[in-house]
Amino acid sequence: MKKMLLVGVVGLSALLGGCANTSELETSVQNLSNKVDQLAQDVSAVRADQSKIAADVAEAKQEAMRANQRIDNMATSYKK
């Protein structure tokens, strides 16, 4: 996605290459590049959080299964 955006910006700058105000265009390109970099960092952070949450859920599921097995074993040991 980042490459596509940069290619689009480069293409746009090529079309507007004849304009007298290229510093403003360069500033816009730099701002867009910074925003793309920030979004990439945010996505990485979200992926890391999602991985940790998935591991926590798996651990909680295992603990619940163990607890249910203990309860089942207790129920079968009691007889009237």
**pLDDT single digits (tens) 38-48:** 999 999 999 99
**pLDDT, mean of each 10-residue run, the chain (80 residues):** 66 60 88 95 95 96 94 73
Which token pair is 41?
């960092």
Helix residue ranges, H only, the chain? 2-15, 22-77
C-beta separation of 13 from 25 below 8 A: yes
Query: What DSSP designation does 16 have?
Result: T
Domain ranges of the chain: 45-80
